[in-house]
């Protein structure tokens, strides 16, 4: 179904009629660097591991990066389980990579002709699995040598990881066919302090201009040190970038909200450096997605997709959502932009596999596992037995990265990644396009050359909306199904905005399949009918649409507030791979995962930053600096305890008007009741608190939030550390 079928159906989206197709003066600026009209969608892999990664070798993988390249090219390769696997359609590009720590150590130890075996025979003999009763325990020892900072330097030297890097560069060059198949050389920087995933994929544009050695977590586990090294490489003529790893495994560390990994306040320099070095982030892979969760986005009915809860190396504990997911990071970024003047999280979206089998399974209907011989049979994949505390049944299909570029070459793809004209999918070859501007009309979207109009009159995904006269921006959103996959359910626009240090989000259904109508109260479109037959593990494409396109104007736009927008295209339900495997094996479906899934694609965001004159029109909030200038004093521990402990207080959010009733028990527990008029009114939850260092420290979902209370003229105002210097809360009532 094409866009015309959605006309007039949405109470949230409104069609825009603009007066002219003429280019506005700002468009000359918007078009800089955008000379690649006629861009195509290229699909590829930016995160895969072979036997040259020590963990993959332990998982039973014995095929190297050369096999991963052949698989990406569409050739059949032998899976670690001994069977043949082959893509239905070759990829357009791939990365030649493995973990940078001890790269190639195990296969080199087994190879009599390798430099490691020839130059360090004792070390090589120790690495050979035949001398170890439990290879997994040996792997844990090697992993601990990295996490605990006592690395085995021989394995990182020229006969080990150094030799592997030179071979990967050669492989990338040998397999590059400009216009047909593109390869980038790189590695995964595997920094894992306190079992928190700070990993980055580091890649070079040109294999002929790459570093002499890898920069690994043995060199440093602090991202700024990696960025400094990258800057030195760029200065030497080696074009390099990094991709932030799927953040859901970082336990809150990948997208810090107030202080860096090293404990320093996030500042302009840190933010600018991160964005120069890391233009895109990974939103999905086999270990779940990092868009959001139901806890972070309770009003998003599609937030429970592929939520994967795990800590690296099977570490104990429950990871936090805060600081681990990209939508909240985008929100924090625009909140920082408005409050502090910089944004460290202005990134585009990509996906990868993180397969450790040198071959990735991108489809639920052709899933063969992702971790070597640990999940190479249906019985193993459906088994509740865990490895490193990871449940094979919860592993998802691999993600794919889509890039809009003129041609399939390193130069063209690289430029597209840098300008963030990328999109991510959960594995299917769904396509999305997204344009934003001030001059689109319905004719722009319906015309045969609507893509040309999209570029000419606005910006594509990854871009920044130029300044305007205050009218609401208009967006063109388009999605197309995988030619061999399920139809589309709907296309949504996810919006985030910020005011006085606080950030918010809302999801708008823009266009959808069928004759559904939005709910008058919520504006949400009802769920599409499911055609899944759970007894047969099949579905039909008798519902949904092959293509959806809509033009939408933000009905809630405030020109004084920072905002971002991105497209999320959602497919109709299909059987999850676990359901397909269970039916094929004649065993019950596992109840730890959903029986069906709705695959999806995400566009990179488009940002709006208010010009200075528009920003001044926003209602001024009280800042901590303002309070201090006015003589307000921060309560110390004794004053906070006297005010709060054993008391019930009523707090009003001065931005949203939300009112909370909070009871502080003497045993360090607080009960919070929502008194507001929204859907959460009356909801009560409990949290742990403590008072220390002049702050009320509240522990929620394995994260802590610090609040400072100020006394001013008999009133109490409070500032949370995650709201960037604003005192947004007033304590209205204190009851004994």
pLDDT-based confidence at residue 20 (cuts at 50, 70, 90) = very low
* pLDDT at residue 470 greater than cutoff 90: no
Determine the 3-state secondary structure of 562 from DSSP. Answer: coil
| Cα distance between residue 202 and residue 212, in whole Å | 14
pLDDT in the model for residue 37? 66
Determine the 3-state secondary structure of 394 from DSSP. Answer: helix
Domains annotated for the chain, with CATH where assigned, are: 3-32+430-615 (no CATH), 41-416 (no CATH), 624-735 (2.40.128.640)
pLDDT in the model for residue 3? 34
* pLDDT at residue 630 greater than cutoff 90: yes
Q: In what order do the strands lie in the sheet with 431-437?
A: 458-460, 431-437, 474-480, 547-553
pLDDT-based confidence at residue 429 (cuts at 50, 70, 90) = very high
Contacts 24+ apart (CB under 8 A), 523-528: 523/10, 523/11, 523/12, 524/301, 525/10, 525/490, 528/489, 528/490, 528/572, 528/573
| Cα distance between residue 485 and residue 428, in whole Å | 7
177: exposed, middle or buried (Cβ count in 10 Å: 0-12, 13-18, 19+): exposed
Residues facing 475 on adjacent strands: 436, 552
Helix H segments across 545-618?
577-585, 612-615
pLDDT in tens, 255-314: 999 999 889 999 999 999 999 999 999 999 999 999 999 999 999 999 999 999 988 878
Nearest CA among 243, 247, 287 for reference residue 388 = 287
The backbone torsions φ and ψ at residue 420, rounded to the nearest 5 degrees and listed phi first, read 65, 25
Give the pair of three-digit tokens for residue 209.
């201009």
Query: Beta strand 464-465 with 606-608: parallel, antiparallel or unpaired?
Result: parallel
| Cα distance between residue 694 and residue 707, in whole Å | 9
Mean pLDDT of the chain: 91
* Rounded mean pLDDT, 623-629: 96
Residue pair 252/715 in contact by the 8 Å Cβ criterion: no
* Rounded mean pLDDT, 180-206: 96
pLDDT in tens, 436-445: 999 998 888 8
Residue pair 684/698 in contact by the 8 Å Cβ criterion: no
* Rounded mean pLDDT, 364-391: 95
Find the farthest-apart pair of alpha carbons in the chain and give their distance in angstroms, rounded.
80
Task: Give the alpha-carbon dihedral of 75, 243, 403, 575, to 10 degrees.
Answer: 60
Percent of the chain with pLDDT over 70: 93
pLDDT in tens, 521-557: 899 999 999 999 999 999 999 999 999 999 999 999 9
| Cα distance between residue 21 and residue 713, in whole Å | 57
């Amino acid at each position: 179904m094409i866009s015309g079928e959605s006309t007039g159906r949405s109470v949230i989206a409104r069609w825009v009629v603009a007066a002219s197709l003429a280019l506005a003066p700002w468009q000359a600026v918007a078009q800089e660097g955008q000379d690649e009209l006629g861009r195509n969608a290229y699909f590829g892999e930016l995160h895969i591991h072979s036997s040259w990664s020590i963990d993959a070798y332990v998982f039973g993988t014995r095929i190297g990066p050369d096999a991963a390249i052949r698989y990406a090219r569409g050739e059949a390769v032998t899976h670690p389980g001994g069977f043949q696997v082959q893509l239905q359609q070759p990829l357009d590009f791939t990365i030649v990579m493995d973990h940078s720590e001890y790269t190639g150590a195990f296969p080199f130890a087994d190879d009599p002709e390798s430099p490691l075996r020839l130059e360090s025979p004792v070390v090589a003999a120790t690495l050979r699995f035949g001398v170890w009763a439990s290879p997994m325990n040996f792997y844990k020892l090697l992993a601990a040598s990295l996490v605990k900072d006592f690395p085995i330097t021989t394995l990182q030297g020229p006969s080990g990881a150094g030799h592997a890097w030179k071979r990967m560069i050669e492989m990338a060059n040998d397999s590059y066919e400009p216009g047909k198949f593109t390869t980038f050389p790189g590695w995964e920087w595997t920094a894992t302090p306190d079992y928190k995933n700070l990993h980055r994929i580091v890649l070079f544009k040109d294999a002929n201009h790459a570093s002499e050695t890898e920069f690994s977590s043995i060199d440093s586990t602090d991202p700024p040190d990696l960025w400094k090294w990258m800057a030195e490489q760029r200065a030497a003529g080696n074009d390099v970038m990094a991709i932030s790893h799927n953040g859901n495994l970082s336990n809150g560390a990948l997208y810090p909200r107030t202080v860096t990994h090293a404990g320093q306040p996030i500042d302009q320099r840190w933010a600018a450096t991160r964005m120069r070095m890391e233009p895109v982030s990974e939103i999905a892979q086999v270990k779940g997605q990092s868009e959001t969760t139901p806890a972070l986005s309770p009003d998003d009915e599609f937030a429970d997709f592929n939520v994967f809860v795990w800590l690296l190396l099977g570490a104990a504990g429950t990871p936090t959502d805060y600081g681990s997911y990209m939508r909240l990071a985008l929100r924090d970024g625009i909140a920082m932009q408005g409050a502090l003047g910089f944004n460290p999280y202005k990134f585009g979206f990509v996906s990868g596999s993180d397969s450790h089998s040198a071959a990735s399974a991108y489809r639920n209907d052709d899933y063969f596992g992702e971790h070597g011989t640990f999940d190479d049979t249906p019985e193993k994949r459906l088994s509740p037995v865990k490895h490193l505390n990871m449940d094979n049944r919860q592993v998802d299909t691999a993600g794919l990265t889509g890039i809009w570029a003129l041609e399939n070459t390193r130069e063209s793809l690289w430029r597209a990644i840098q300008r963030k004209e990328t999109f991510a999918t959960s594995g299917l070859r769904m396509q999305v396009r997204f344009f934003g501007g001030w001059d689109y009309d319905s004719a722009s979207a319906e015309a045969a050359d609507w893509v040309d109009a999209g570029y000419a009159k606005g910006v594509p995904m990854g871009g920044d909306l130029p300044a305007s006269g205050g009218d609401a921006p208009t967006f063109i959103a388009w999605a197309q199904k995988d030619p061999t996959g399920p139809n589309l359910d709907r296309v949504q626009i996810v919006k985030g905005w910020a005011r006085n240090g606080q950030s918010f989000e809302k999801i708008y259904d823009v266009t959808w399949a069928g004759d559904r109508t939005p709910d008058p109260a919520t504006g949400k479109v009802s769920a599409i009918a499911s055609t899944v037959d759970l007894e047969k593990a099949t579905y039909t494409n008798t519902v949904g649409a092959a293509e959806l396109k809509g033009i939408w104007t933000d009905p809630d736009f405030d020109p004084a507030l920072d905002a971002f927008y991105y497209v999320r295209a959602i497919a109709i339900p299909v059987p999850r791979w676990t359901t397909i495997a269970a039916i094929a094996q004649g065993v019950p479906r596992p109840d730890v995962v959903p029986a069906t899934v709705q695959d999806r694609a995400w566009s990179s965001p488009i940002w709006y930053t208010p010009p200075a004159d528009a920003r001044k029109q926003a209602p001024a909030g009280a800042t901590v600096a303002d309070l201090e200038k006015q003589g307000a004093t921060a309560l110390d521990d004794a004053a906070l305890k006297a005010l709060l402990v054993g008391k019930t207080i009523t707090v009003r959010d001065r931005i949203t008007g939300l009112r909370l009733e909070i009871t502080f028990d003497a045993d360090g527990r607080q009960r919070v009741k929502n008194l507001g008029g929204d859907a959460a009114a009356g909801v009560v939850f409990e949290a742990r608190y403590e008072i220390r260092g002049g702050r009320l420290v509240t522990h929620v979902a394995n994260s802590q939030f610090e609040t400072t209370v100020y006394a001013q003229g008999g009133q109490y105002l409070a500032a949370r550390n995650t709201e960037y210097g604003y005192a947004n809360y007033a304590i209205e009532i204190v009851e004994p």
